[in-house]
Amino acid sequence: MILSIEQLSIHSRDKTLVHEVSLTIRKGEWYALVGQSGSGKSLLSQAIGQLLPPNLRADGQVILHGLDVLNLPSSRARSLRGGTLAYVFQDYQGSFTPFRTIGQHFDEYQKAHDVTSATVRTQQAVEALESVGLDGRFLPRYPFQLSGGQLQRASIAIALLLSPELLIADEVTTALDSVSAHRILQLLAAKQRQTGCAILFITHDWRHVRRYAQQIAVMKDGTIVESGSSKLILENPQHDYTRQLIQAAPVLPVPTEVKP
């Protein structure tokens, strides 16, 4: 078991935004958390890595690789991010500082996780870029010199650099066209097979859920209304909200293979 969430609630000063959520994610599993915007999906993902904004508080348990994240000192939680846990966000462009090169972003990330040798850092960065279909020529480039798909790949390369056990992919395809989105998800699936990491895939797009997810949880108004295997949820949804979402989802052809 990589992640176990028990009775997690997230509160603002005057409102409960996430209500007693429980879920478990196993090693190597692709777990889709599905729901419309505002359902609480991203808040839940932020709580896993102690990334909630300061005006929100969480209670319950978030056990990541045997550690109760909510009760960890912030310095210890930071060390988990990038090592045991990594994120790829919807706003991949916002993950990069425009006046720093791609190589400088890698370097800063590696130094934060005690990779002290400059030679090792460069080698790791090049290998990581090559693993996502880029190469060392991208290290001296600035973020604005990359296309959207290339920049998203670079963010995945950084996230997977230190072989995390859990990757949280939060609406990673929303800002991409359909071909680029398919390439990114093919890439994530390939990296998952190579590394054995689990993926928490946060999305509202049922086309991608159908193709990749092994387990599904459906979230509405801060509550998990239904969860189970993808086969069970897709073929025999029990909750009215789940049925509505599935029926409203477009069924569009997805190319079976797209080269990076």
Report whether pLDDT(260) > 50: no
Percent of the chain with pLDDT over 90: 61
Q: What number is the average pLDDT over the span 196-206?
A: 93
Report whether pLDDT(255) > 70: no
Residue 62 CA to residue 50 CA, distance in Å, equals: 10
For residues 74 and 30, which has the higher predicted lDDT (pLDDT)?
Answer: 30
Q: What is the pLDDT, as a whole number, of residue 80?
A: 85
Residue 156 CA to residue 165 CA, distance in Å, equals: 14
Cβ burial, residue 194 (10 Å; 0-12/13-18/19+):
exposed
Confidence of residue 182 (pLDDT cuts 50, 70, 90): confident
Q: Which amino acid is at 164?
A: P
Contact (Cβ atoms closer than 8 angstroms) between residue 96 and residue 44: no
Rounded to the nearest integer, the mean pLDDT of the chain is 89
List the single range of 15-24, 62-71, 172-181 with lowest mean pLDDT: 172-181
Report whether pLDDT(252) > 60: no
pTM: 0.89
Cβ burial, residue 62 (10 Å; 0-12/13-18/19+):
buried
Please name the residues in contact with 14: beta carbons below 8 A apart, sequence gap of 6 or more: none
Residue 66 CA to residue 1 CA, distance in Å, equals: 9
Q: What is the pLDDT, as a whole number, of residue 34?
A: 96
Confidence of residue 32 (pLDDT cuts 50, 70, 90): very high
Residue 3 CA to residue 23 CA, distance in Å, equals: 8
In this structure, what are the phi and psi dihedrals at residue 148, rounded to the nearest 5 degrees? -60, -45
Residue 22 CA to residue 11 CA, distance in Å, equals: 16
Q: What is the pLDDT, as a whole number, of residue 258?
A: 44
Q: What is the pLDDT, as a whole number, of residue 259?
A: 47
Going from N- to C-terminal start, the domains of the chain cover 3-84+164-248, 100-163
Look at the domain 3-84+164-248 and name its fold.
Rossmann fold (3.40.50)
Q: What is the pLDDT, as a whole number, of residue 119?
A: 92
List beta partners, residue 227: 217
Question: What single-letter DSSP state applies at residue 81?
Answer: B
Burial readout 73-106 (b: 16 or more C-beta within 10 A, e: otherwise): eeeebebbbbebbbbbbbebbebbeeeebbbebb
First CA to last CA distance, the chain:
32
Question: What single-letter DSSP state applies at residue 142?
Answer: -
Q: What number is the average pLDDT over the span 39-62?
A: 95
Residue 198 CA to residue 184 CA, distance in Å, equals: 16
Strand 223-229 vs strand 215-220: parallel, antiparallel, or unpaired? Answer: antiparallel
